[in-house]
Amino acid sequence: MTLSQTVAVIGGGPAGLMAAEVLSASGVQVHVYDAMPSVGRKFLLAGRGGLNLTHSEPFDVFMSRFGERRAQLEPMLARFGPQQVREWAAGLGIETFVGTSGRVFPTDMKAAPLLRAWLHRLRAAGVQFHMRHRWLGDASLAAASLRFATPTGEALVKADAVVLALGGASWARLGSDGAWAPWLQARGIDVAPLLPANCGFDGAGWSEHFASRFAGQPFKSVAISFTDSQGRRFARKGEFVATATGIEGSLIYAASALLRDEIAAHGSATLLLDLLPDRSAEQVLAAVKHPRGARSLSSHLKSRLGLEGIKAGVLHEALGREAMQDPAQLAATIKALPLRLVATRPIDEAISTAGGVRFEALDEVLMASAVPGVFVAGEMLDWEAPTGGYLLTASMASGAAAARGAIKQLGL
């Protein structure tokens, strides 16, 4: 062991912190640099939603969520996967539980105690933290001489290896701004365009009346289906939210990669919304046609089908007053209401980022072929996955893998 070997980990999100953990266990001196005043800000934000750490489904199903990048990620996740995430949390004194959907959360659903315990353990292991150090993507990376903007001016840092774990390009105010993409490209590291993943969409064509009345309200117990122009199909029950200009929320995020790619290829994507997924088309038609006497159509739909509020509102949006009176058209629209989406919401609002450093630009231990000694981990790599704990698990797994790569490179 050579104590003079130092590794700079740039970016203190879950990927960088996991890299620091694995590196420090090997005996190298680890320095973590982060642009923000404190590390793990997006991790803490994830805690607001309960901190979905990982997923309990069988490993093969878990891996299928990574789509085209499964092959590259599988070796890393085989070493540090869902079970290891739970053991790692337990090692920090944080027990986890499996929610009804199979998602795994800390028992207290919070990120702060876990992050606190983790940082405590890292510091105790000798990891040194340098906050408010913004790496400037300097051209002297190859010589492992790194330039940082700090509150007291620029600092030059030397390291024997570097792990970049700079995150994606969403929620820039928490630190991950994607500024690294052109810098790495200029160094000959191929970067796929950064795109929003698990994002909302604009379109849907809401009237001002609908938007002012229903923006922020959920569509509950609905289903959406979408088939793209290549025949790939998404269909699922769930819920989502109307926004002033479109739609967002868990069910939409789940379909967002397909919708995003279809919009990029064809300018729009039209999904079908089923307002009553638990009733067949025949049942809906029969209920719509049922004599309603003196009752208004609205109260008929409410009493026979439970359609009111935002669900009734969206039917009016889609059909207009006249077509609402046509039972066949009304029933068909209740089961398959078209929503045409024309744009993703800006990447800064997205839960995660697709695109990033292409695996083809890295060797099997995540070292950049164009810049030996530089390793890349976390969301800045070119993979994407739905929500469900896959993002944190793969970020940490790749952080651990990059660290193992650096250890190997240093001959330890």
| Chain contacts with ligand FAD (rule: CB under 6 A) | 10-16, 33-36, 39, 41-43, 45-46, 49, 51-52, 134-135, 165-167, 170-171, 175-176, 179, 351-352, 378-379, 389, 391-392, 395
Q: Using CB atoms within 10 A of its CB, is residue 74 exposed (0-12), middle (13-18) or buried (19+)?
A: middle
Nearer to ligand FAD, 106 or 373 (CB): 106
Which DSSP category does 142 fall into? G
Structure tokens at 385: 């996955």
Nearer to ligand FAD, 104 or 318 (CB): 104
The least CB distance from residue 350 to ligand FAD, in Å, is 7
- CA-nearest of 79, 84, 81, 106 to 95 is 106
Smallest distance from the beta carbon of 40 to ligand FAD, in angstroms?
A: 7
Q: Which is nearer to ligand FAD, 16 or 81 (by Cβ)?
A: 16
For 120, the token pair is 């405590």
Contact 159, 8 (CB under 8 A): yes
Q: Residue 406 is encoded by which pair of tokens?
A: 């650096």
Residue 36 is encoded by which pair of tokens? Answer: 């923000």
* Least distance from ligand FAD to the Cβ atom of residue 352, Å: 5
Q: How far is the CB of 391 from ligand FAD (least distance, A)?
A: 3
Give the nearer residue to ligand FAD in terms of CB position, either 80 or 171.
171
The residue among 255 and 350 lying less far from ligand FAD, judged by its C-beta, is 350
Nearest one of 161, 140, 154 to 402, comparing CA atoms = 161
Residues 6+ apart with CB under 8 A from 206: 214, 215, 242, 244, 245, 246, 317
Minimum distance, C-beta of residue 9 to ligand FAD, in the bound complex (Å): 10
Q: For the CB of residue 15, give the shortest distance to ligand FAD in the complex, in Å.
A: 3
**Residue of 33, 39, 42 lying closest to 150 (CA atoms):** 33
CB of 50 to ligand FAD, least distance (A): 7
Question: In the bound complex, what is the minimum distance in angstroms from residue 95's beta carbon to ligand FAD?
Answer: 17
Let me know: does 334 contact 284? Beta carbons within 8 Å: yes
Whose Cβ is closer to ligand FAD: residue 176's or residue 243's?
A: 176
Closest to ligand FAD by CB, 182 vs 320, is 182
Residue 202 near residue 224 (C-beta atoms within 8 A): no
203-208 long-range contacts (CB < 8 A, ≥24 apart) are 203/245, 203/246, 203/268, 203/339, 203/340, 203/341, 203/342, 203/343, 204/242, 204/245, 204/246, 204/247, 204/339, 204/340, 204/341, 205/317, 205/340, 206/242, 206/244, 206/245, 206/246, 206/317, 207/317
CB of 334 to ligand FAD, least distance (A): 32
- Residue of 217, 200, 201, 205 lying closest to 312 (CA atoms): 217
Q: Which is nearer to ligand FAD, 166 or 401 (CB)?
A: 166
In the complex with ligand FAD, the residue whose CB is nearer, 175 or 313, is 175
